[in-house]
């Protein structure tokens, strides 16, 4: 049991641990208008680029259609900048619709917006419906290949789009997309003049940050969002064990949570606890100050809403406590009131590609995490690389390489790079693996104390705290500075 837990908990980026993945045909928007934006229209062209399946070998010479979205309404032609979203593990249209910051600064910068989909996600499937069929077809799903896709796509755009040849490009991304934007600047400074890496845990790799910080941050979010909130969640794990020790308790808990699939045995209980743990993590990620729909539709400051149900005294019985937990979980899973039952195999939007991210975690993206039940509100679980690796081998037939990301992306030795903003929200558990201090005067950290996961990249909102407004203003001014620098140093790049 422990082995599976290690595999699951540590695979999460967009979380969704116990979910059975099914590749679904995504709802495709040819010319889309976001339901999320309020004032700024999100209108773009959907285009496809013939991308090499393998950039690092020449045996596989095939191509696939990489999807990218272009909005050039405000673009100053020729030479206006390009803001380039380095797509992460999901449908690019979803990221496009959730990255309001780019839409809101486009006019001011005279910028073209490009959102490039990450291979193996959304529509950009190198082998169509077979892309996930086995480790042979999955072999080209790496961040290195994705960065090369972005570089080749941009090189092509700059040479084929009239007026774009001298356009400076700024990479923008959030979460894993933020890691990609930072790495894109590090590895291809010839292609991008700078990068905004929002909530990008580029140090969540072996040996770089303490493995427990992620869950400590989650715990702190709950601790400060309501009386006894973290304490009661911590108690709930034992309460679940107690209650489910009998058949009637299993039935009671299943009914209390309106579970679509009632709990039947210890394995189910184990999975149920994993699902709850992910729920709390997800809430920490999306603890936004206003009503939003990112992973799920949620009220403003959703953890506060959750914690209202967990403000119980120390004398509450197990069942009273679990009733509170069930009400809390419904904040996340049934804010709209439309769920007839709670589905423990689903924790977030289907716009994210969980299986792809699992594969990435099982290869390059080895992100150690652990809990101790002392500094966090979770059951203790050590980081066990061997168990994790065995789980990956069983699931995909591949084994993770723990050291590789640190070698190829520099670990903490990144000071020789330049023009990268690392923005982090203090509420976001991923900030634990992020760059939260300035490294040099052009590798800057922006901390947003009231921010959750890449709040700065979202559309602005009347309820935004001043810190995120200031962050966006600083980001915009740095964009301007990079564009100015690029204009000064631009030379001819071709002589023949």
Query: Cβ distance 237 to 379 under 8 Å?
Result: yes
| Residue 420 Cα distances to 173, 186, 194, 267, angstroms | 11, 9, 6, 45
Nearer to a copy of itself, 415 or 463 (CB): 415
Nearest to 317 by CA among 226, 424, 396, 239: 239
Nearest distance, CB of residue 152 and a copy of itself, angstroms: 6
Return the residues of window 49-108 that contact a copy of itself according to CB under 8 A. 52, 55-59, 61
Nearer to a copy of itself, 227 or 380 (CB): 380
Calpha distance 457→102 (Å, rounded): 7
**Long-range CB contacts (within 8 A, 24+) of 440-444:** 440/415, 442/418, 443/414, 443/415, 443/417, 443/418, 443/419, 444/420, 444/478
Nearest distance, CB of residue 295 and a copy of itself, angstroms: 28
Candidates 109, 295, 414, 420: give the one binding a copy of itself (CB under 8 A): 414
Nearest to 250 by CA among 235, 240, 260: 240
Identified catalytic residue from 55, 118, 417, 453: 453
Q: Does 214 bind a copy of itself (CB under 8 A)?
A: no
Nearest distance, CB of residue 86 and a copy of itself, angstroms: 16
Candidates 62, 78, 210, 262: give the one binding a copy of itself (CB under 8 A): 210
Nearest distance, CB of residue 56 and a copy of itself, angstroms: 4
Calpha distance 226→234 (Å, rounded): 14
x-marked contacts with a copy of itself along 312-351 as a string, rule CB under 8 A: ----------------------------------------
Determine the distance from the C-alpha atom of residue 353 to the mean position of all C-alpha atoms in its chain, rounded to a whole number.
11
Provide the 3-class DSSP secondary structure of residue 101.
helix
Nearer to a copy of itself, 412 or 469 (CB): 412
The residues, any chain, with a CB within 8 Å of residue 178's CB and separated by 6 or more, are 196, 197, 198, 199, 200, 422, 454
**To the nearest 10°, the Cα dihedral for 218, 223, 229, 234?**
60
Query: Cβ distance 460 to 290 under 8 Å?
Result: no
Q: What's the per-residue H, E or C state across 44-68?
A: CEEEEEEEECCCCCCCCCCEEEEEE
Return the residues of window 132-151 that contact a copy of itself according to CB under 8 A. 135-136, 138-140, 142, 144-145, 148, 151
Nearest distance, CB of residue 336 and a copy of itself, angstroms: 40
Stretch that binds a copy of itself, among 301-309, 330-338, 409-417, 444-452 (CB under 8 A): 409-417
Calpha distance 481→165 (Å, rounded): 19
Calpha distance 281→270 (Å, rounded): 17
Q: Does 487 bind a copy of itself (CB under 8 A)?
A: no
Candidates 170, 202, 209, 443: give the one binding a copy of itself (CB under 8 A): 209
Nearest distance, CB of residue 71 and a copy of itself, angstroms: 24
Token reading at 4: 């599976």
Nearer to a copy of itself, 161 or 209 (CB): 209
Element (H, E) at 106: helix 100-109
Return the residues of window 347-406 that contact a copy of itself according to CB under 8 A. 363, 368, 398-399, 401, 403-404, 406
Identified catalytic residue from 131, 143, 175, 467: 175
Nearer to a copy of itself, 265 or 440 (CB): 440
Please say if 428 is a catalytic residue.
yes
Query: Cβ distance 152 to 52 under 8 Å?
Result: yes
Nearest to 431 by CA among 301, 287, 227, 231: 287
Nearest distance, CB of residue 351 and a copy of itself, angstroms: 26
Q: Does 415 bind a copy of itself (CB under 8 A)?
A: yes
Q: Does 41 bind a copy of itself (CB under 8 A)?
A: no
Nearest to 221 by CA among 295, 307, 290, 294: 307
Q: Does 488 bind a copy of itself (CB under 8 A)?
A: no
Question: What number of residues does the chain have?
Answer: 496
Nearer to a copy of itself, 407 or 473 (CB): 407
Return the residues of window 258-297 that contact a copy of itself according to CB under 8 A. none
Nearest distance, CB of residue 491 and a copy of itself, angstroms: 7
Q: Does 169 bind a copy of itself (CB under 8 A)?
A: no
Q: Does 27 bind a copy of itself (CB under 8 A)?
A: no
Candidates 190, 315, 338, 386: give the one binding a copy of itself (CB under 8 A): 190
DSSP string, 239-284: HHHHHTTSHHHHHHHHHHTTBSS---SHHHHHHHHHHHHHHHHHHH
Token reading at 8: 């699951």
Q: Does 453 bind a copy of itself (CB under 8 A)?
A: no
Judged by CB under 8 A, how many residues of this single chain contact a copy of itself?
A: 56
Nearer to a copy of itself, 206 or 226 (CB): 206
Calpha distance 177→143 (Å, rounded): 10
Residues serving a catalytic function are 175, 428, 453
Contact residues for a copy of itself (CB under 8 A)? 52, 55-59, 61, 135-136, 138-140, 142, 144-145, 148, 151-152, 155, 187-191, 207-211, 363, 368, 398-399, 401, 403-404, 406-408, 410-419, 489, 491-496
């Amino acid at each position: 049991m422990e082995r599976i837990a290690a595999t699951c908990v540590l695979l999460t980026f967009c979380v969704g641990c116990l979910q059975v993945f099914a590749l679904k045909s995504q709802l495709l928007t040819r010319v889309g208008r976001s339901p999320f934006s309020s004032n700024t229209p999100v209108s773009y062209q959907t285009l496809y680029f013939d991308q090499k399946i393998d950039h690092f070998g020449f045996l596989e010479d095939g191509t696939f259609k990489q999807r990218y979205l272009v909005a050039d309404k405000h673009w100053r032609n020729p030479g206006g900048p390009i803001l380039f979203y380095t797509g992460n593990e999901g449908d690019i249209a979803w990221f496009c619709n959730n990255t309001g910051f780019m839409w809101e600064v486009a006019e001011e910068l005279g910028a073209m917006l490009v959102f490039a989909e990450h291979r193996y996600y959304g529509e950009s499937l190198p082998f169509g419906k077979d892309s996930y069929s086995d480790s042979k077809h999955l072999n080209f799903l790496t961040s290195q290949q994705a960065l090369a896709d972005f570089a080749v796509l941009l090189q092509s755009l700059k040479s084929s789009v009239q007026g774009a040849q001298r356009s400076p490009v700024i990479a923008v991304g959030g979460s894993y997309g933020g890691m990609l934007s930072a790495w894109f600047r590090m590895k291809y400074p010839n292609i991008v003049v700078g990068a905004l890496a929002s909530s990008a845990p580029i140090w969540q790799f072996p040996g770089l940050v303490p493995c427990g910080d992620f869950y400590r941050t989650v715990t702190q979010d709950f601790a400060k969002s309501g009386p006894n909130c973290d304490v009661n969640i911590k108690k709930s794990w034992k309460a679940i064990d107690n209650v489910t020790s009998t058949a009637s308790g299993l039935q009671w808990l299943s009914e209390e949570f309106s579970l679509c699939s009632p709990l039947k045995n210890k394995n189910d209980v184990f999975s149920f606890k994993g699902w709850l743990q992910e729920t709390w993590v997800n809430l920490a990620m999306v603890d936004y100050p206003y009503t939003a729909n990112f992973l799920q539709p949620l009220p403003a400051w959703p953890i506060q809403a959750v914690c209202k149900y967990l403000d119980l005294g120390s004398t509450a019985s197990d069942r009273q406590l679990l009733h509170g937990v069930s009400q809390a979980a419904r904040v996340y899973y049934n804010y709209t009131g439309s769920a007839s039952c709670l589905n423990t195999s689903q924790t977030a939007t289907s716009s994210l590609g969980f299986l792809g991210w699992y594969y990435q975690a099982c290869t390059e993206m080895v992100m150690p995490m652990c809990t101790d039940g002392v500094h966090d509100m979770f059951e203790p679980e050590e980081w066990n690389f061997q168990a994790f690796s065995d789980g990956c081998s069983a699931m995909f037939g591949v084994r993770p390489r723990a050291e590789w990301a640190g070698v190829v992306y520099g670990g903490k030795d990144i000071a020789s790079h330049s023009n990268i903003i690392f923005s982090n929200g203090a509420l976001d558990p991923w900030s634990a693996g992020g760059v939260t201090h300035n490294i040099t005067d052009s590798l800057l950290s922006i901390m947003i104390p009231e921010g959750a996961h890449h709040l700065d990249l979202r559309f602005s909102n009347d309820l935004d705290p001043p810190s995120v407004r200031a962050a966006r203003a600083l980001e915009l001014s740095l964009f301007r500075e990079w564009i100015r620098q690029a204009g000064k140093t631009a030379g001819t790049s071709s002589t023949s």
